[in-house]
Amino acid sequence: MVLVVAAVGMPGCGKGELSALVKAAGIPVFSMGDMIRAEVEARNLDGDPHVFGRVAQELRDEFGYGVLASRLAPHIESALAGSQLVLIEGMRGVDEKDIFLEHWPNFKVVAVVVEADIRFDRISLRGRAEDGDRAAFDRRDDRELSWGVGELIAGADWSLDNSGDLETFNNLSEQWLKALFPSH
């Protein structure tokens, strides 16, 4: 059975850690955040918290809220030729989920959850241009909630708690992956 799964969660929740673990298992991973970072670079813009959010919103305003999913679907389809499982990191909205469901009716969602204060502490350490200070973090949360990420988290097929340390989260993620695909 071929399966496409999207990892959802608020900024700094650990989607990237889950993706790294899945990728290390030899499973293709596609990052929707990388698509925004590439768009910022293609436009020759300086990367700061406001630019990434603005570009993401401009793309959605111009092409619809499912634009990233529509652009990504053909790449996922190609990856499925050589893999039974593909992970999408960072789906943000219901429109994106709807597009993925059109392509793969058994499409699933895994949510990575952790409270805001822990997420902010973690992103303060990672050093990405789009992260910024606490005010930028809160604005980003509000923006992503307006796109529907909260609805995706609430309706996820699985939920992984990332409130503890990295080793605990990696063990939980490995258990989830083994339950999903015992051969990995």
Query: Which pLDDT band holds residue 143 (cuts at 50, 70, 90)?
Result: confident
Q: What is the pLDDT of residue 80?
A: 93
Greater pLDDT, 173 or 126: 173
Q: Alpha-carbon distance 43 to 154, whole Å?
A: 34
- Does pLDDT of 130 surpass 70? no
Tell me, what amino acid is at 154? A
- Mean pLDDT, range 19-41, rounded to an integer: 91
Mean pLDDT for all residues in the chain: 91
Using one digit for the tens of pLDDT, what is the confidence trace for 68-114?
999 999 999 999 999 999 999 999 899 999 999 999 999 999 999 99
> In the chain, where does DSSP find H-type helix?
15-24, 32-42, 49-63, 67-79, 94-103, 116-126, 134-147, 149-154, 166-180
- Mean pLDDT, range 127-146, rounded to an integer: 82
Catalogue all structural domains in the chain, each as residue range(s) with its CATH number: 3-178 (3.40.50.300)
Query: Can you tell me which residue has the tokens 């401009």?
Result: 58
Angle at 26 between CA 91 and CA 15, to 5 degrees: 30
Using one digit for the tens of pLDDT, what is the confidence trace for 37-69?
888 888 988 766 678 878 888 988 899 899 999
Of 102-106, 119-123, 130-134, 167-171, the one with minimum mean pLDDT is 130-134
- How much is the pTM? 0.89
Which of 6, 3, 2 shows the shortest CA–CA distance to 95?
Answer: 6
Of 2-16, 67-81, 123-137, 155-169, the one with minimum mean pLDDT is 123-137
